[in-house]
Structure 1
């Protein structure tokens, strides 16, 4: 009897952990989202990253996740972030999305965060050009973080935005961060899966 209770408790704990791994740090939906579901839609997919390898990992994973949910992604090959003098503005993707017949623009920004293992855990930040997201503003995009080798203190974050291609209206956005590890690909792919899962929960598609 006690053994069954123990197994049940362990299973419940594992279930809670599994659910927790699919959460995002924050998300927002427009009231207009209910009128613009993207189920089965063609979407322009753009990834913004400080390094080409991160951008390519982002594009491959995001496209695979969206295809698995019935969307048709049209990939934008340029993964460079906005210039340092230019604020984030996803409207620059709209003409390309309309030309491709896409109903929406799906943009993801991915990159390294600064992490101070001696801090209380609140020193994470990431910057792209004229904008940043994170929990502090301690590092900018000009800093190149290691992909391999000694990268135990490297954490990554991802930000996703979905906008209507016709109106440019932001429909949904979310942000997710990860704990530091030595494998950038694993972190980024997990972050993007969490973001797409959250979009599905928010009825984006």
Structure 2
């Protein structure tokens, strides 16, 4: 009975966590945004990721989503995140954006958020939650496990998106989204970026 209750509880936590990450987790808009929508604007697109492949997937998807909404993306090829010892500072991209004639800098930081292991035989479950960060921050973790036979490990990804005005460097809009666990990394990243761009549209960023 105790084993059954533990498995049921852990499975419920996993289900709630997955559902909670299917939408944008949080977003913020500047009062200035109402006066400076980016309709039809050229924007410098930046993707910060711990691995090159993640950065390239991010650039391709984010650029495609912005094009469909009438914006003109200019891609920054370097996808390396800033050093962990440095605070987040998107002003570093402003000179490049101005040189490209962009009105805004659109930055997406993408990285792994948690590890999820599911039992393929249905006899148990093992879950590990971690954290991802860019700049100065801390992370916490929670691990729950039940002895099982074979398991399939998946990684949950998250993205933090920021849009800044090139003229004055002020942050216009920012949002964060996570993705339900999946064995397909590309599907996860593309889905969460689409949700973020959809949220930007709802917030009248463009």
TM-score of the aligned structures, taking structure 2 as reference length: 0.77
Shift of 1:120: 8.9
Among 138, 141, 147, the alignment partner of 1:138 is 141
More strand per residue = 2
Match of 2:98 in 1: 98
**Quick check: which has more Rg, 1 or 2?**
2
In structure 1, runs of 5+ residues without a counterpart are 1-19, 140-149
Shift of 1:181: 1.2
Note closer, same or farther for the CA distance 1:40–1:130 as it changes in structure 2 (3 Å cut).
same
User: Is 1:128 matched up with 2:134?
Assistant: yes
The DSSP-based 3-state class of the residue aligned with 2:132 is strand
Shift of 1:131: 3.8
Note closer, same or farther for the CA distance 1:195–1:151 as it changes in structure 2 (3 Å cut).
farther
Match of 1:66 in 2: 66
Match of 1:57 in 2: 57
Match of 1:186 in 2: 187
Match of 2:145 in 1: none
Shift of 1:73: 0.3
Match of 1:163 in 2: 164
Q: Distance in 1 between matches of 2:22 and 2:75?
A: 25
Aligned positions, number: 172
Shift of 1:127: 1.8
Q: Distance in 2 between matches of 1:53 and 1:165?
A: 28
TM-score of the aligned structures, taking structure 1 as reference length: 0.77
List per-residue Cα deviations over 1:16-53 (Å, max 9, x = no partner). xxxx9873011000011001100000000000000000
Contact 1:45 1:105 in 2 (8 A): yes
Contact 2:23 2:178 in 1 (8 A): no
- Cα root mean square deviation, aligned: 2.4
Match of 2:14 in 1: none
Superposition pairs of residues 146-161 of structure 1, within 5 angstroms: 152-161=153-162
Q: Distance in 1 between matches of 2:152 and 2:95?
A: 39
Note closer, same or farther for the CA distance 1:31–1:120 as it changes in structure 2 (3 Å cut).
farther
List per-residue Cα deviations over 1:58-96 (Å, max 9, x = no partner). 000000000000000000000000012211100000010
